[in-house]
Amino acid sequence: MIVNDSEEFIAHCKKYYFYTADKKFNHRKFGKYFLYEREIGDKLYYPQLAIYLNELPCDQTTEVEYINHRRTWEWQTEYKYEYDGKEYTNYIAELESNIDRFILWGDSMYVYGAWDKMPTWKELRQAYERTWWFHRTSDELRDIQLDRILNGI
């Protein structure tokens, strides 16, 4: 998704920027789950759930270390490979995990929620609704929240 420079987007970025959001979510603790979006250049990437590991000093900023949580499609998508003349099938999720690193210099990371344990789908849904990827106006968000309260969702 291409980002814009509207006042609404800039206010959103300031509110959920990695360091600013820590005041609200306290996500910079080892082992915490957090939902984030990355902005690289003029492109915004789909939100992902990750586990926070560490931050390292990097020039005049920091480098965030985290592991992305496996997505559902990774447990549903198979690939074939050949080894020693035989063909095998594995799931994408059975590949090794990597520690991801993101330098907060010219690019940005936005955080929309943090949890000490794996969040429920209800908690995740509310966090996803805060992301810019699934952006809604404040009136729409208010109506959704009122509907939740009134219908017990």
What percentage of residues in the chain have a pLDDT greater than 90? 67
Contacts 24+ apart (CB under 8 A), 94-99: 97/67, 97/68, 98/67, 99/53, 99/65, 99/66, 99/67
DSSP letter at 42?
T
Q: What is the mean pLDDT of residues 62-72?
A: 94
Look up residue 140 and give its amino acid.
Answer: E
**Per-residue model confidence as pLDDT tens digits over 98-153:** 999 999 999 999 999 999 999 999 999 989 989 999 888 778 878 888 888 888 76
E strand or H helix that includes residue 139: helix 138-151
pTM of the model as a whole: 0.83
Under 8 Å between Cβ of 55 and 32:
no
